[in-house]
Copies of this chain bind each other. A is one copy, B any other.
């Protein structure tokens, strides 16, 4: 057991204050100073030309960072990422579809629940938790008349990043409409919406966009726009026909989360000025590698459980202590949040995120806390 620490970082409990908690969860995450400064401003009235311009700029930058196909549209829904997932299903799929859905964790499970609720015929492809998607999972469904495919690009609950090329090739071969939950992977891992032929992509304000939660961002390819036109949405609030019509002039049908949309604008421009999506992805990738190398270097009693990692998060199985107890200890005694898991992974897995405004020094602090816990025989 090594007892060395990364130098000079004071871990004394007296420094803990919720205002200065270090946040390694996968959302909400830490925001930049520019984003937080907007949070302190008065929220402006929004049925104005000025706000419309901001919304159109948000649309333009979001589409740019996803490499959205020509003639795509983006909309900004005031709801959670899960609300965005349901919006996609309600507006793009019908009882005439035959959908395939990848279920490798709690977000895949959510897609399954939503398809059931909305009466969309579907087949579920169960992937063992922590395992990668492989050709063998898809080939049995080739040529079977499937019309739609739903997948998490990154199953956040287990930290598994699925092979999108594999899915894309299957969808192109079979003429499937692709709905991709990129909620936790957008701006963390490369994503080329046009090349993959994705119909709908969904992300959230509180992941790599590092703004407060409250807004689901969606990009709708021309193939989605055709489907939306033909589909009757059962919910007015989440009706994409209304959202699209209003977004034409940079507005929304209902009062949106104006403050968060202004923060998204600052953040998108920040990313743009730093070099765009690629730069942000390599920043995240660097932090993920840094943390993973330290876990190894300090020989911590954690196993990385995912066969196919995203840059967004490192899922860890602690071999000597309950994962949830580690989450509580790190929160209450070290002033940091790692991300606990719910359900039956509660005791076996916790996750460390690499999104938001974080630095190597922040990870040093977390590693030192783990080392400290080992010295105290807690882990």
B47 touching A340 by the CB < 8 A rule? yes
> Given the complex of chains A and B, what is the CA–CA distance between A331 and B44 in angstroms?
11
> Who on chain B is nearest to A207 by CB?
B255
Say yes or no: A36-B42 contact (C-beta < 8 A), given A80-B254, A254-B82. yes
Judged by a CB distance under 8 angstroms, whether A295 is at the interface is no
Contact yes or no, A80 B83, CB < 8 A: no
A46 to B80, CA, bound (A): 14
* Least distance between A82 CB and chain B CB atoms (Å): 4
Interface residues on A, range: 35 or more
Interface residues of A in 99-124 (CB under 8 A from B): 113-114, 117
A128: which B residues are within 8 A, CB to CB?
none
A40–B82 Cα distance when bound, in Å, is 26
Q: A28, A44, A237, A253: which has the most chain B beta carbons within 10 Å?
A: A237
Known: A83-B254, A214-B257. A28 touches B40 (CB 8 A): no
A339 to chain B, nearest CB (A): 7
Residues A331 and B48 in contact in the complex (CB < 8 Å), given A78-B80, A79-B237: yes
B28 x A237 contact (CB < 8 A)? no
Q: Does A19 contact B (CB under 8 A)?
A: yes
Which residues between 252 and 274 of chain A lie within 8 Å of chain B, taking CB atoms? 253-260
What's the minimum C-beta distance from A87 to chain B, rounded to whole angstroms? Answer: 8
The residue on B at minimum CB distance from A339 is: B45
Q: How far is it, in angstroms, between the C-alpha of A40 and the C-alpha of B37 when the chains are bound?
A: 6
Q: Which of A28, A31, A81, A259 has the most CB of B within 10 A?
A: A259
Bound Cα distance from A43 to B259, whole angstroms: 14
How far is the CB of A48 from the nearest CB of chain B, in Å?
Answer: 7
| A15 located at the interface, meaning its Cβ lies under 8 Å from any Cβ of chain B in the complex | no
Contact check, B48 vs A40: say whether CB atoms are below 8 A apart. Answer: no
A213 at the interface (CB under 8 A from B): yes
Interface hub of A48, A339, A340 (most chain B Cβ within 10 A) = A48
Is the CB of A41 closer than 8 A to any CB of chain B?
A: yes
Minimum Cβ distance to chain B for residue A36 (Å): 5
Whether the pair A36, B25 counts as a contact (CB closer than 8 A) is no
Q: Given A45-B337, A235-B86, is A18 in contact with B50 using a C-beta cutoff of 8 Å?
A: yes
CB-CB nearest in chain B for A254: B80
Cβ-defined partner of A256 (8 Å) among B80, B87, B256, B337:
B80
Assuming the contacts A78-B83, A80-B237, A331-B48, asked whether A213 and B42 have C-beta atoms less than 8 A apart, the reply is no
Q: A19-B42, A81-B254, A235-B235 are in contact. List 5 more A-B contacts (CB 8 A).
A: A28-B255, A31-B42, A31-B43, A114-B236, A259-B260
Q: List 12 A-B contacts (CB under 8 A).
A: A18-B44, A23-B44, A31-B43, A36-B41, A43-B206, A47-B342, A48-B337, A80-B237, A83-B237, A114-B236, A213-B255, A257-B260
Residues of A that sit less than 8 Å from B by CB: 18-19, 21, 23, 25, 27-28, 30-31, 36-37, 39-48, 50, 78-83, 86-87, 90, 113-114, 117, 204, 206, 212-214, 234-238, 253-260, 331, 337, 339-340, 342
- The 8 A-B pairs with the shortest beta carbon distances in the complex, nearest first, are A39-B39, A214-B257, A40-B40, A212-B259, A80-B254, A28-B43, A45-B337, A83-B237
